[in-house]
Amino acid sequence: MDSLWPALEPLLDEVQRPARYIGGEEGACPAPHGPGKVAWLLCYPDSYEVGLPNQGLQILYEILNERPDAVAERAYAPWGDLEALLRREGLPLFSVDTHRAAGDFDVLAFNLSSELVYTNVLNLIDLAGAPVRAADRAEGDLLVAAGGHCAFNPEPLADFVDFFVLGDGEEAVGEITEALAAHRAGGRREVLGALGALDGVYVPAAYEVSFAGASMTVAPRWPEAPETVHKRTISSLGDWPYPKRQLVPLTEVVHDRLNVEVFRGCTRGCRFCQAGMITRPVRERPGAQVRTMIEEGLRRTGYDEVALTSLSTADFSGIEQLVADVVGPADGAGGAGCPAVTVSLPSLRVDAFTVGLAAELQRARRTGLTFAPEAGSWRLRQVVNKLISSEDLEAAVEAAYSQGWRRVKLYFLVGLPTETDEDVLGIAGLARRCVELGRRHVRGASVTVSVGGFVPKPQTPFQWFGQNTVAELRRKLALLAEDLRGDRSVKLRWHDPEATLVEGLASRGDRRLGAVIEDVWRRGGTFQEWSEHFDCDLWLDAMARRGLSVEDYAYRHRSEAETLPWDHLSAGLHKDFLWQDWQDALAASGLEDCRWTPCYDCGACTGYGIEHVVASASPPAGGSQGTGHAPPVPVRLGAGRELAGVS
Amino acid sequence: MRVRLCWTKQGRIRFCGHRDSARIWERAVRRADLPVSYTQGYTPRAKIAFGLALAVGQESVAEYLDVDLRLSQEEAAGLAADLPERLSAVLPEGMAVSGARPLKPGAASLQEAVTSCTWEFALGPADRGLASDWVGRVQSAESLPLERERKGRRTVSDVRTAVGGLRLADSRSGSVLVAELGTKPRAVRPAEFLRLTVPPLAAGRIRRLHQWIMRDGERYEPLAPPAGVLAPTGGAPAAAGCRAVPAAQPEVCAE
């Protein structure tokens, strides 16, 4: 169990940005290895800059290292230049904490947050020195695990991963550690059998998946494997104040700031949003704990920016007061000439964004403000259940401009169900309207419109929808670009439609897609999330070689009777609830947030005997709150703080 | 009140670049709760002026920076004695503060003042003979033309007068070459120095040992009183300054 550092160090003189391989971050806390301990190598299958800030991985890293029976270290995908040197020198994937070889660990566990990292997962298993296919691994080889949002349809990676964890990992990692320690003497099959019997753990090898024409059947092969694997859900976020020691990198990474998760789960019910569906119910962190975590975190890390993370942070009970408290007293923010702490709210609902909140935020350094109307017309927003009216959006955008922002970013999806060209052009109309409102307050007001192609996700009401073709997405984007041509105050950006297609293939793929992923990896297709490395032809050629149809996987509408590849895995949502919600979507009928209205029995709470944990019994101030109607008293814009939150 | 710090960067942290170091410093002064002055405007930044950049992969026992504190001269002088310990405690492994002194108002910035740096180049056990020949060729050369490219334009300048103090010495892992390279009007970089004659000299780890301010025929380190720092007053410990190392004495690699 020697450190590979002496062999790695000379290589680092030859690679770009070597600081990402040295470890030593403030907060790094690997426990000592020892006999009897279960050693986890937690791996983010993309570059260090993208992977280090991942909060899920950091939470599990701390929880495992606090246990007397476990040790956890971290690894990230080495960039191509270092990978080439490692392979030339016969060196394996290593941890950045103590530079141990991956093979010195018991478990190699991946966080899967995007489908485009799947080929990197294969590459990293290979670089770790284990056979890429789970079936080829022998006693003594690594156990390969994966969790994260993509684990809710793990089938495309079923051939390569020994076990998946569905849902919150806080409790599950402890149980897995104990099962591993208790059963490892019995060999690989016994270990996997014991893991598969744990709640929330899915062992693909324990299930027989067979295909006959267009139909698919799944059946347990092992007696201990349950018919359906249910996700894990922690009932109280307050019991898990992690990360307690967020890692502070020594080199620049994305989201380089303190992150404090203020709640998990979201019941706004946006039908395209997998994260909102699979993380229900809403569990708010107690306000006092949020304040402590921010205060201690800032002091410990030296950061001057904190992001309050969740799927819709403006919905947090008492958000306005919380932001005011963090930014500091109004006179001499931060005290004695010290600049105020910057607060960023990464996911903002426009109907919960008020002048008051804008006023609090602008007292510190202004970060970018992004609002996500998602669709260009009220009709289509009802289809996707993003129930914000044009008035809501205008009020939020005007609140931002009135408080000094010069540019706001608007995020939209194209390729949504029932979308017409009129809906697409509605995006341009909204953007222009926002610029017009901005000009009342600031000179040079501008809007950045960012457009993503819609990928239907498993465990959502849109899981039956056949996604738009690459050609159709291109046509719609061209339509939008043409409409906005010459308008210098609206900047249009879009996601590559070919990448949208590949995400779609993997998102709802079945076990047969594993061969495609392996094929793409063997032909050098790694780092597919990076536009300079993404290669759509690799995927299309691999599909063709395996006799699989792109039409069938991505563009085809599914029927109610069809068995979906993830039907034996449950995120808590009843399939009939999702189907009914899909029918409501097609009828352009919206559904209000169940946090503040009666239960629709989606299954997420009742199935697990848990409830929403929300400090406030009423929705946040401002906006129509999903009713589609104007608020009782209009929000007064351009006014001072004393009018904050009037609605 | 401006305070000048001397700090070190050794070990793995040498792979962090100049920008990374700057970010580490900005967080360190906040973690140490120093009363730092900030720039005005939309994006306030701590007023920290870094000296000559150190390339990624190079070590140093002689880095300097000037930081503006919201303190009187007396307060700054009192605080300076505590700074090495207070800041070293919040810096990552491999970075430490070795000295701190308040600067006189109007003292020249590090970028302006520093005229040369002493560098140490690690050589393999077998390279001593080659290096000896190489040093001989550099020392006997009448001119040392250096071709450099900047903004797409190639220039050749003779850097003979910017290169001096060459000396070979034994170290634990082989030997080291020590050289003093000028920084005016343009710094001769360590990597440029190694290719001043053909064939170039192959060296391992590079470490900055000193930065020098030459004025009126005498040279000082940036924490010496002639550089504009205030001498310790009252009972301030002598250790407040950077440890003085005679220029001609090569440092032995402390692995």
Does A281 sit behind a cis peptide bond, omega within 30 degrees of 0 on the bond before it?
yes
Asked, for residue A74, whether it belongs to a domain, the answer is yes
pLDDT tens, residue by residue, B20-75: 999 999 999 999 999 999 988 777 889 999 999 999 999 999 999 999 999 998 89
Predicted confidence at residue B90, as pLDDT, reads 97
**Is A301 an 8 Å CB contact of chain B?**
yes
Q: Are residues A212 and A273 in the same domain?
A: no
What ranges in B32-166 are assigned the alpha helix state H?
A: 73-80, 83-88, 110-113, 128-140
Q: Are residues A218 and A261 in the same domain?
A: no
Q: What are phi and psi of A188, to 5 degrees?
A: -60, -45
Q: What are phi and psi of A519, to 5 degrees?
A: -60, -45
Closest-approach residue (CA) in chain B for A9: B12
* Separation in Å, CA of B172 to nearest CA in chain A: 17
| Predicted TM-score (pTM) of this structure | 0.93
Predicted confidence at residue A620, as pLDDT, reads 66
The number of distinct structural domains making up chain A is: 2
Mean pLDDT over all residues of chain B?
88
Closest-approach residue (CA) in chain B for A405: B42
List the structure tokens of B26. Answer: 């900005």
Asked, for residue A585, whether it belongs to a domain, the answer is yes
Q: What angle do CA A291, A294, A298 make, to 5 degrees?
A: 145
CB A569 within 8 A of CB A228: yes
Closest-approach residue (CA) in chain B for A28: B92
Q: How far is residue B195 CA from its own chain's centroid?
A: 21
List the structure tokens of B120. Answer: 């140490």
* Separation in Å, CA of A18 to nearest CA in chain B: 6
Predicted confidence at residue A314, as pLDDT, reads 86
Predicted confidence at residue A542, as pLDDT, reads 98
Closest-approach residue (CA) in chain A for B12: A22
The residue behind tokens 């017309």 is A377
Nearest CB among B15, B24, B36 relative to A22 is that of B15
Could you give the domains of chain B?
2-111+225-241 (3.30.70.580), 113-215 (3.30.70)
3-state helix, strand, coil in chain B (%, to 5): 25, 35, 40
Closest-approach residue (CA) in chain A for B34: A338
State which residues form the domain around A292. 256-327+343-512+548-591
3-state helix, strand, coil in chain A (%, to 5): 40, 15, 45
> How many CB atoms are closer than 10 A to CB A530?
12
* Separation in Å, CA of A470 to nearest CA in chain B: 41
Interface mutation vs chain B, best among A338, A365, A442, most B CBs within 10 Å = A338
> How many CB atoms are closer than 10 A to CB B212?
22
Asked, for residue A609, whether it belongs to a domain, the answer is no
CB-based contacts of A110, cutoff 8 Å, min separation 6 = A43, A44, A45, A121, A124, A144, A145, A146, A147, A148, A161
Residue contacts between A and B (CB atoms, under 8 Å): 65
User: How many CA within 13 A on the CB side of residue A20?
Assistant: 21
What separation in angstroms does the CA of A347 have from each of A171, A308, A317, B191, B207? Answer: 27, 9, 15, 47, 46
| Residues B57, A365: C-beta atoms closer than 8 Å | no
| Residues A303, B23: C-beta atoms closer than 8 Å | no
d(C-alpha B236, C-alpha B221), whole Å: 19
CB B2 within 8 A of CB B102: yes
From chain A, pick out residues whose CB is under 8 angstroms from the CB of B30: 302-304
Residue B7, pLDDT above cutoff 60:
yes
Nearest CB among A13, A299, A336 relative to B57 is that of A13
Q: Are residues A87 and A212 in the same domain?
A: yes
- Could you tell me the CATH number of the domain that includes residue A480? 3.80.30.20
Closest-approach residue (CA) in chain A for B57: A13
Residue B254, pLDDT above cutoff 90:
no
Asked, for residue A615, whether it belongs to a domain, the answer is no
Q: Are residues A221 and A295 in the same domain?
A: no
Packing angle of the helix pair A536-545, A513-522 (nearest 10 deg): 130
Three-class SS state of A620: coil
From chain A, pick out residues whose CB is under 8 angstroms from the CB of B16: 19, 22, 250-251
Nearest CB among A18, A299, A337 relative to B70 is that of A337
Q: What is the 3-state secondary structure (H, E, C) of A239-276?
A: HCCCCCCCCECCCCCCCCCEEEECEECCCCCCCCCHHH
* Separation in Å, CA of B18 to nearest CA in chain A: 10
Q: What are phi and psi of A390, to 5 degrees?
A: -60, -35
Q: Are residues A225 and A364 in the same domain?
A: no
pLDDT tens, residue by residue, A372-428: 999 999 999 999 999 989 899 999 999 999 988 999 999 999 999 999 999 999 999
Nearest CB among B12, B57, B90 relative to A24 is that of B12
β-bridge mates for residue B9, sequence order: B60, B95
d(C-alpha A515, C-alpha A159), whole Å: 9
Q: Are residues A284 and A355 in the same domain?
A: yes
d(C-alpha B48, C-alpha B66), whole Å: 6
Predicted confidence at residue A299, as pLDDT, reads 95
Chain length of chain B: 255
d(C-alpha A144, C-alpha A106), whole Å: 9
* Separation in Å, CA of B142 to nearest CA in chain A: 33
d(C-alpha A55, C-alpha A257), whole Å: 12
From chain A, pick out residues whose CB is under 8 angstroms from the CB of B44: 339, 365
- Could you tell me the CATH number of the domain that includes residue A118? 3.40.50.280
Predicted confidence at residue A601, as pLDDT, reads 86
Asked, for residue A169, whether it belongs to a domain, the answer is yes
Asked, for residue A93, whether it belongs to a domain, the answer is yes
Nearest CB among A21, A251, A299 relative to B20 is that of A251
From chain A, pick out residues whose CB is under 8 angstroms from the CB of B15: 12, 18-19, 21-22
Mark the ranges of chain A whose per-residue pLDDT is less than 70.
1, 329-338, 620-647
Amino acid at site A353: F
Q: Are residues A98 and A167 in the same domain?
A: yes
Interface mutation vs chain A, best among B10, B15, B30, B71, most A CBs within 10 Å = B15
pLDDT tens, residue by residue, A310-366: 999 988 999 989 999 998 765 444 444 567 888 988 777 777 777 788 888 887 777
Secondary element (H or E) of residue A58: helix A55-66
Q: How confident is the model at residue B222 (pLDDT cuts 50, 70, 90)?
A: very high
Q: Are strands A342-344 and A215-220 parallel, antiparallel or unpaired?
A: unpaired
Predicted confidence at residue A615, as pLDDT, reads 81
| Residues A24, B93: C-beta atoms closer than 8 Å | yes
Asked, for residue A610, whether it belongs to a domain, the answer is no
From chain B, pick out residues whose CB is under 8 angstroms from the CB of A251: 16-17, 20
Quick one: CA dihedral A38, A44, A50, A53, positive or negative?
negative
**Is A6 an 8 Å CB contact of chain B?**
no
Predicted confidence at residue A626, as pLDDT, reads 52
Packing angle of the helix pair A421-439, A390-402 (nearest 10 deg): 30
Predicted confidence at residue A605, as pLDDT, reads 87
Q: Are residues A316 and A378 in the same domain?
A: yes
* Separation in Å, CA of B148 to nearest CA in chain A: 22
Asked, for residue A619, whether it belongs to a domain, the answer is no
CB B163 within 8 A of CB B137: no
Predicted confidence at residue A640, as pLDDT, reads 30
d(C-alpha A454, C-alpha A504), whole Å: 9
Packing angle of the helix pair A319-327, A287-301 (nearest 10 deg): 30
d(C-alpha B161, C-alpha B148), whole Å: 17
Q: Are residues A222 and A266 in the same domain?
A: no
| Residues B56, A18: C-beta atoms closer than 8 Å | yes
Residue B233, pLDDT above cutoff 70:
no
Predicted confidence at residue A611, as pLDDT, reads 84
Q: Are residues A223 and A277 in the same domain?
A: no
> How many CB atoms are closer than 10 A to CB B56?
19
Nearest CB among B15, B35, B90 relative to A19 is that of B15
List the structure tokens of A452. Answer: 């993503």
Q: Are residues A582 and A470 in the same domain?
A: yes
Q: Are residues A316 and A408 in the same domain?
A: yes
